């Protein structure tokens, strides 16, 4: 087999992977809106894992199921296999979420 037959497909694969990486990175970039509130940020993360840092210092990790006007429903809490949580939005200090892959 000629070396050219190996180099061309390898180059094509590298170019495709670089293109997918750029698209994937662009999709995950978060742009903070000036009027953003915790409720909006949680609504954008429906179905995804988040860590909520609370006023009390406690951290709750789970999947966002529903976001209401005053509460958020988290399911599949980390370290508590059979538990969900209903959390008051006004008691949340920060929302931590996975923004990118390595």
For residue range 36-83, list pLDDT tens digits in order: 899 999 999 999 999 999 999 999 999 999 999 999 999 999 999 899
Regarding whether 46 and 89 lie in a shared domain, the answer is: yes
Phi first, then psi: what are they for 91, rounded to 5°?
-100, 0
Secondary structure E strands in the chain:
49-54, 59-67, 71-75, 85-88, 92-97
pTM score of the predicted model: 0.68
Bridge partner list, 50: 62, 97
Instruction: Identify the residue whose tokens are 């509460």.
Output: 71
Residue 65: domain span: 38-97
Regarding whether 93 and 43 lie in a shared domain, the answer is: yes
Residue 102, domain member (yes or no)? no
When divided into structural domains, the chain yields a total of 2
Question: Alpha-carbon distance 99 to 84, whole Å?
Answer: 23
């Amino acid at each position: 087999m000629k070396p050219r037959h190996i180099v061309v497909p390898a180059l094509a694969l590298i170019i495709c992977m670089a293109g997918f990486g750029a698209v994937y990175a662009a999709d995950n970039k978060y742009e903070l809106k000036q009027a953003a509130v915790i409720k909006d940020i949680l609504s954008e993360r429906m179905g995804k894992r988040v860590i909520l840092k609370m006023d009390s210092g406690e951290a709750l990790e789970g999947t966002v199921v529903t976001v209401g006007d005053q509460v958020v429903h988290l399911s599949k809490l980390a370290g508590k296999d059979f538990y969900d949580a209903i959390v008051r939005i006004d008691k949340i200090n920060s929302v931590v979420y996975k923004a990118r892959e390595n």
